[in-house]
Amino acid sequence: MSPNPQRPLRAPRHFAVMPAGGAGSRLGAAVPKQYLDLHGEPMIACAARALLAAPWIERLVVVVAPGDRRAGPALAGLPRTTVLAEGGETRRDTVLAGLRWLATEIGAGAGGAGGASTGGAGIGEDWVLVHDAARPALGRAVLERLRETLADDPVGGLLAMPVSDTVKRATAAGSVAETVPREGLWLAQTPQMFRFGLLLEALARFGDVTDEAAAIELSGGAPRLVAGDRMNFKVTTADDLELMRRLMRNG
C-alpha cells in the first residue's frame, strides 16, 4: 500500500471511532468496564468527552455490541455522537464497522463512499482517530499534539510512550529468559490517527491485528510515533481502575 498522492481541495476533516464492544473480563466487574463509574460518570462517557473537547472532531461513532442497552443512556446528551450497535468479535471488527458506517453516512455527502478507498474528493483523505473507551484521561494538550504533528503526514500515526523500565522476557515457568534492550521500544496508546481510506483498506485486508497501527504496518505504511502522556493509560485491572478513580477525583 502506498499513500495516495492526491489531496482534496478542501481541508481534511476529522472523525473518531471508539470501539466499546468488549466485556472487560480481566477486570472481574459485574458490568463491562466501560460502564463502571468514574467520579459520577461512566468511563465511556469520560472517554467520549475527552475526544469531544476538540471541536475539530466532527463526529464520534461509539461502536458497541449488538443488544447493548447501556450505551445510549451513558452517552445521552453528548454532542456530535452516534452510538452504533454493530460491534464484532474483535477490536478490528468493531472499528471496521464504525469506519464503514462513516463511509456510508458521511462519505456519501463528500464525494461518495467510494472516496473512502480511493481518496480524492471523498472521505478517503480525511482523518479518523480511534480511541479506547478504557482510556478516559486523555488530555486536550496531547490530543492537539497528535493532530498538529500528523497534519501533513500522508499516512498518520499514534500516541505512544518510550519504554523507560528494564524489560525482561519470561520463560514458561515464570523465570527470566533474557533482558530485552529497551532502546527503540514504545508502548502504544490511543488515539491512533490515520487517513480514512488507508485505515479502512488496511483493516478490511488484515483481520489478525490488535491495533490499527499494526494493520497499517502490514499494508506497507510507516505510522509515526507521537509522544503521549502517562495519564492516558488503559484501565485493564482493578488496580488501574482505582488509580483512574483517584486521578479523576483529584483532577
- Residue-wise pLDDT for 183-225, tens only, equals 999 999 999 999 999 999 999 999 999 999 999 999 999 999 9
Pick the closest to residue 160 from 186, 124, 142, 130 (CA basis). 186
Q: Is residue 215 part of a domain?
A: yes
The predicted structure's pLDDT at residue 122: 73
Q: Look up residue 166 and give its three cell numbers.
A: 528494564
Predicted TM-score (pTM) of this structure? 0.90
At 6, is the pLDDT very low, low, confident or very high (cuts 50, 70, 90)? low
Interatomic CA distance for residues 2 and 5, integer angstroms: 9
The predicted structure's pLDDT at residue 30: 77
Give the three-class secondary structure for 175: coil
- Number of structural domains, the chain? 1
Q: Is residue 243 part of a domain?
A: no
Which spans in the chain are helix H? 43-52, 71-75, 91-105, 115-118, 140-150, 196-205, 212-218, 238-250
pLDDT at 29 over 70: no
Q: Is residue 205 part of a domain?
A: yes
Q: Which residue has the higher pLDDT, 63 or 112?
A: 63
Q: Is residue 134 part of a domain?
A: yes
Q: Is residue 251 part of a domain?
A: no
Q: What is the CATH number of the domain that holds 221?
A: 3.90.550.10
Q: Look up residue 10 and give its three cell numbers.
A: 478542501
Q: Is residue 143 part of a domain?
A: yes
- 115 with 200: CB under 8 angstroms? no
Residue whose entry in the numeric block shows the C-alpha cell 478507498: 117
Least confident interval from 73-77, 107-111, 119-123, 165-169: 107-111
Pick the closest to residue 3 from 103, 152, 148 (CA basis). 152
pLDDT at 102 over 70: yes
Q: Is residue 84 part of a domain?
A: yes
Q: Is residue 6 part of a domain?
A: no
The predicted structure's pLDDT at residue 24: 56
Cα diameter, the chain: 58
Q: Which domain holds residue 35?
A: 14-238
For the segment 146-156, what is each residue's pLDDT rounded down to a tens digit?
A: 999 999 999 99
Pick the closest to residue 192 from 103, 108, 92, 42 (CA basis). 92
